[in-house]
Structure 1
Amino acid sequence: MAPLHQPPTIIETSHISPPNGTVPSTTLPLTFFDAPWLTLPLGQSLFFFSYPNSTERFLKDFVPNLKQSLSLTLQHFFPYAGNLIIPPRPDPPFLRYNDGEDSLVFTVAESTGGTDFDYLKTDSPKDIRVLHDLLPKLPPPHVSPQGIQTRPIMVIQVTIFPGRGICIGNTSTHVAADGVTFTHFMKYWMSLTKSNAGNDSTKILLPSPPIHTCRNVIKDPGEVAAGHLERFWSQNSGNHGSHATPEDMVLATFTMSRNQIDNLKHWVTEQSTIQSHVSSFVVTLAFAWVSLIKTLVQDSETEAKGEDKDQQVFHLLINVDCRNRLKCTEPIPPTYFGNCMAPGIVSVNKRDLLGENGVLAASDAITARIKEMLSSDLLKTAPTWGRGVGKWVMSRFPTSIAGAPKLGLYDMDCGLGKPCKMEMVHIETGGSIAFSDSRDGSNGVEVGIALEKKKMDAFALNLQQGIKRFEI
């Protein structure tokens, strides 16, 4: 573990908005893809970059460019500088950006309290409280005399570790957009920062800007949003995203190499009876899910009552990106700004999941569920999603996924090289497994897990034993 630490010292706080007059005041309705996130936790991420310079140079040379590039980026990703507006019931919430009024709170901090940057960028288990110090906190909602709540969408904190590196921390409400959009935003901002630094003689190609204009073509297929709004109104306390962190919680990363993944794929392909292509992501997810459930079951002191232990069913929530997959009047493009993910529930009997061929059972079930979703009319099935998610929520050890290797979360450069580490801190809220491409560029997969320290040790052992089993 790292030595005792002190929170970073705040150097400055500023407000960043698109250049005045470049974005008209705009309101955007929430779609039925956005509505579920009204009652779900915030997104929290950290990106670490090596930076062997002083705080003075950081403030003089790097921060001004970072701010200017962020302002220009927000010209395209303007909802992140805006607010979630929540009128009194029955009017639905919506996103709003007011030109000349709204902005994103941007904090610059310095860590001089003994927290080791080299420790933070490792894969080893880290005290989650240390990571919290690097995350900005969303300001509390503002409530008008008319009862209208105004909630900021995003805040950013950049912390320098003098002579070692910097950390870009982000906290945002998931209501505005999903991980695809957030990754798009980060890559655009980082690319623009590098371009404006002028250190590279080659021209930097910026990602395409996002598209906001197709929200109205995403038609609610059966009052799906209404159910989520009812749930939100019934529990709306103004404490969106708040949660208690369990004691002794750590976050760790485990890397599956290309060779280990290929060994898994070969074994699953040889054993499977279903005639479907086995993807690297599916077998990695299956392997991680089995290892996690095995850990949680081993640690549990009491078994579920009133049912045969072997007949228990474990559920995994996966997400399928619906961009370009919805039967709308016009296609939803890959650069659509918003949420556009369909939830799917994978269910496997305990006896099968934790048995000798648990990875095969999990892989086959995940593959079948994805195939079923992609072959269906996703809009027509949307009214049934809530029942599946409800079953998942009430189950034992519900597990979900954050991120995906295909997002290329390490494929960004702000002029300091690619991130030397990235963390999805919000997986601490329970049951999530984080996935990203491996930062060494070897086509492996990084798996992030947040557990109490004792459980993390057990998970690491289960993972290690499983990897040895599939070695060829």
Structure 2
Amino acid sequence: MTKHLTKCDRINFFTCPVVSFSFYKKRTNELISSKLNHTMAHPQPPNIIETCHISPTTGTVPSTTLPLTFFDAPWLTLPLADSLFFFSYQNSTESFLKDFVPNLKQSLSISLQHFFPYAGKLIIPSRPDPPYLQYNDGEDSLVFTVAESTETDFNQLKTDSPKDIRVLHGVLPKLPPPHVSPEGIQMRPIMAMQVTIFPGAGICIGNSATHVVADGVTFSHFMKYWMSLTKSNGKDPATVLLPPLPIHSCRNMIKDPGEVGAGHLERFWSQNSGKNSSHVTPENMVRATFTMSRNQIDNLKSWVKEQSENQSPVSTFVVTLALIWVSLMKTIVQDSETEAEEEDKDEVFHLMINVDCRNRLKYTQPIPQTYFGNCMAPGIVSVKKRDLLGEKCVLAASDAITARIKDMLSSDLLKTAPTWGQGVRKWVMSRFPTSIAGAPKLGLYDMDFGLGKPCKMEIVHIETGGSIAFSESRDGSNGVEIGIALEKKKMEVFGSILQQGIKKFET
């Protein structure tokens, strides 16, 4: 371990104690809100056991420079991507440090031999030179923190019920600040990891990374590779069944079809503050998780198919997203409308979805599914307010989402790329822009580090507003799990509207 673990030291790290909210009982809400206001004023610091720098073993990865593509450039001005994975763990801290952490570090070091950009830096030269990714052998690493929490209730931390958004921040790692050279070149760390034990209850593995380096497909690939190595518990990697290796060599063949990246670079240079973009904690917000069962989804799919003019089958993702989007817009509009606004039925609401472009770009060779980087095309779904909130609102949303996906998949994505910015600007300027984080197909609950699959997973950066987190249901029943962040009162309204919507389609 001495070759890839260096500079271990202790630091202080503050978190907020967990408070859960009753979903529908007003008296309990009042009691818990009072308790929340009291406890949030006195945050309890967890014990940071160590902070290490982990990298590939020296000599296993050559120093490498990778250019950013036009798929990467949009993320230069956007917040970090944060995620948390919770696992049941009944053992003590001593057992955790002896039996689990060394293996976790060792397997991470080996994984970074193949996913090395995560251990590298985003280099930002002086304008007009474009930013790029760099890994320097023997110098670069990612920060890995080991912590112990004895003041926080693990079961409340991983609850689906609404909880103050700040309670998860203590188990998130902190990405180190950028370093600026005498020549004015910024060097930003790419990723940080934190593993926190709750003795006798569970473990949380947290991640914070700049989205510039890669999208959710790549991140899921990396996590599954690391997980597979950790679960093998020190076996020779050559004897372990592992996911395929990532491919880095495709970046040079991803050509910008129309100065798409240049526009994002101009925006970045005008906004660049020299710091990693991170979300600001909104006030008075909670986050909650909702699950739709396979039976509920099938009922909804049947209804949409029957009501649709062409009566074509619809996907689980489409109908689930349609219901959630409608419920969310009804919640927000109900809380913010004035009489004048209610008359504006021609207002258009916009939803951003993303389509994976791997194997769909018309290059000489297709971009493989194991490509390391960002490779997502944004698609804007637009529905008039009167339709999205009308009698057949779910059908209107479902038809619009289906049509947008079909249009994107049937078109030459490279030819349409120069127009993506126009759609995104329209989305940004709308009153209630909504977007998606995660996807059921990513298999985010397939992360068994030898402790069993996660008992909960959270995509934390949905707190920045307007995002809906999607994953497969954790029970393996082929349902869908949805994460939402809203103000406390709006969350209760959203839960009620969603449940009413689900019951409407029950048979």
TM norm. shorter chain > 0.5: yes
**Superposed, which structure 2 residues align to 1:26-425 within 5 Å?**
26-113=64-151, 115-196=152-233, 204-274=240-310, 276-302=312-338, 308-425=343-460
| Code of the aligned partner of 1:452 | E
d(CA) in 2 for partners of 1:212 and 1:273?
A: 45
Q: Which moved more, 1:241-250 or 1:397-406?
A: 241-250
Q: Which moved more, 1:172-181 or 1:130-139?
A: 130-139
Q: Which moved more, 1:271-280 or 1:179-188?
A: 271-280
d(CA) in 2 for partners of 1:243 and 1:105?
A: 20
Q: Does the residue aligned with 1:133 lie in a helix, a strand or coil?
A: helix
Q: Is the 8 A contact 2:188 2:276 kept in 1?
A: no
Q: Is the 8 A contact 2:231 2:450 kept in 1?
A: yes
Q: Does the residue aligned with 1:335 lie in a helix, a strand or coil?
A: coil
Deviation (angstroms), 1:125: 1.1
So what's the TM-score if we normalise by structure 1? 0.97
| Code of the aligned partner of 1:39 | T
Higher relative contact order (CA 8 A, sep 6+): 1
Q: Is the 8 A contact 1:274 1:364 kept in 2?
A: no
Identity %: 82
Deviations 1:199-239 (A, max 9, x none): xxxx7521111100011111100010000000000010123
| Code of the aligned partner of 2:276 | H
Indicate whether 1:463 and 2:501 are aligned.
no
d(CA) in 1 for partners of 2:244 and 2:46?
A: 35
CA gap of 1:303–1:370, structure 2 versus 1, over 3 A, is farther
Deviations 1:246-272 (A, max 9, x none): 212111100000000000000000001
d(CA) in 1 for partners of 2:88 and 2:242?
A: 22
Deviation (angstroms), 1:112: 1.3
| Code of the aligned partner of 1:242 | S
Extract unaligned runs of 5+ from structure 1.
none
Deviations 1:31-82 (A, max 9, x none): 0000000001110000001110000111111000000000000000000000
| Code of the aligned partner of 1:361 | A
Q: Which residue of 1 aligns with 2:483?
A: 448
d(CA) in 1 for partners of 2:213 and 2:386?
A: 40
d(CA) in 2 for partners of 1:17 and 1:275?
A: 53
| Code of the aligned partner of 2:396 | A
d(CA) in 1 for partners of 2:177 and 2:338?
A: 39
Runs of 4+ in structure 1 deviating by more than 2 angstroms, as ranges, are 1-5, 274-277, 301-305
Deviations 1:87-134 (A, max 9, x none): 000000000000000001000001012x11011222111211110111
d(CA) in 2 for partners of 1:392 and 1:43?
A: 20
Extract unaligned runs of 5+ from structure 2.
1-18, 21-34
d(CA) in 2 for partners of 1:64 and 1:116?
A: 25
d(CA) in 1 for partners of 2:148 and 2:227?
A: 21
Give the alignment's Cα RMSD to 1 decimal.
1.3
Deviation (angstroms), 1:23: 0.4
